[in-house]
Amino acid sequence: MIGIGGSLSRASAGAGPGRRRWLTVLVWLLVAPFAVWAAARVFGLEPGWPTIQLLAFTPYVALVSLIPLALAVLTKRLWPAIVAAVVAVAFAACILPRWIADGDAGVGAGATVRVMTVNMLYGQADPGQIVRLVRDGRVDLLAFQEYTAEGRAAMRAAGLEDVLPYAVSYPRPDAGGSAVYSRFPLAEQGYRQLGGGFMQAHASVHVPGGPDVYVESAHPCAPMGRGSDACWVADLATQPAANPDGPVTVLMGDFNSTLDHKAFRRVVTKGYHDAADVAGAGLAPSWPYDDRWYFPSVTLDHILTDQRVGVRKVVVYRIAKSDHRAVFAELVLPKAPA
């Protein structure tokens, strides 16, 4: 009996280090993918498909990254725990600022202007609901993407032009149409033709009590795969820069990208800030909102304002018959020149 017991004890002791090594390997295998993802996000490594597409889901990955950290701590794996902690901190530094409102809500000290952007999904979005949002929110400037002739007719029938009588519109039968509606007269109307095929309507408007505002309905092509990744990068790169010595610039629309994409962050660094980020609503997702209940929603729709503009609030609204949510922002313009 003593011999048998001694043999069992030695067998258990011999198996223990092996099990511990396998547990260490397992923890490393769990930590490693999150470390790679965090590195791609922090250093802007998005060479193409599928990295570009995956990075849109970084907020979800950041949350799940706490699981391997907890496992490493509970199993007392020091180095995996240290790496997992660094990964969690990196994700937090990238994600949490969007959830926290800026103390001064940007700049701005002049007139208030309310803006909204809607992707109409080939002109199908519910016109009555959009007009109600415009009336209730006292919207001054409204941008449309995927704007069609049918969509224009439906909006007219719903009474949009009674509220926003001035418009620059370029309807198309596909997803490339665009428009800007305004409460105030528009000037310098036109459109930007992007390499990916979409049009971006733009115009200048003088807001009473404020400076001139240049507004553009943004819609770079979507990175659907290897064939469209290049046009996505190019379309984002051609977005106009804000001019601190010129009119206040507002870009709003479906950018087909999130703040976790380096290509989009480069647009923001052209003299803008993301209104939702400033208001602490930067994690509010906007797509998809249709029957794809199984698909995690991400933040593709944005309102970018030049850095002289303050942001009071940002709200997103579900729009019937569209796969995008509308984004509304209440902005505070700088004082008008004396």
Q: At what angle do helices 66-74 and 2-42 cross, to 10 degrees?
A: 150
| Residue ranges of domains in the chain | 2-98, 105-332
- What's the confidence (pLDDT) of residue 13? 46
Question: Cβ(161)–Cβ(152) under 8 Å?
Answer: no
- What's the confidence (pLDDT) of residue 7? 44
- What's the confidence (pLDDT) of residue 103? 73
- What's the confidence (pLDDT) of residue 78? 96
Return the CATH superfamily for domain 105-332: Endonuclease/exonuclease/phosphatase (3.60.10.10)
- Residue 139 one-letter amino acid: V
pTM of the model: 0.92
Q: In what order do the strands lie in the sheet with 199-206?
A: 186-193, 199-206, 212-218, 248-254, 301-306, 272-274
- What's the confidence (pLDDT) of residue 337? 75
Q: Is 320 helix (H, G, I), strand (E, B) or coil?
A: coil
- What's the confidence (pLDDT) of residue 104? 66
- The tokens for 310 are 């303050």
- What's the confidence (pLDDT) of residue 106? 64
Residue among 268, 279, 276, 281 at smallest CA distance from 307: 268
Q: How far apart are CA 186 and CA 172, in angstroms?
A: 21
- What's the confidence (pLDDT) of residue 11? 41
Q: Is 208 helix (H, G, I), strand (E, B) or coil?
A: coil
- What's the confidence (pLDDT) of residue 17? 76
Q: Using DSSP bridges, classify how beta strands 112-119 and 325-332 pair: parallel, antiparallel or unpaired.
A: antiparallel
Q: Is 216 helix (H, G, I), strand (E, B) or coil?
A: strand
From the number of C-beta atoms within 10 Å of its C-beta (0-12, 13-18, 19+), residue 173 rates as exposed
Half-sphere exposure of 227 (CA within 13 A, CB side): 1
- 338 residues of the chain, pLDDT tens digit each: 444 444 434 444 445 677 789 999 999 999 999 999 999 999 999 999 999 999 999 999 999 999 999 999 999 999 999 999 999 999 999 999 999 999 766 666 789 999 999 999 999 999 999 999 999 999 999 999 999 999 999 999 999 999 999 999 999 999 999 999 999 999 999 999 999 999 999 999 999 989 999 999 999 999 998 889 999 999 999 999 999 999 999 999 999 999 999 999 999 999 999 999 999 999 999 999 988 888 999 999 999 999 999 999 999 999 999 999 999 999 999 988 76
Q: What contacts 151, CB < 8 A, 6 or more positions away?
A: 120, 122, 123, 124, 125, 127, 144, 171, 177
- The tokens for 152 are 């224009």
- What's the confidence (pLDDT) of residue 135? 98
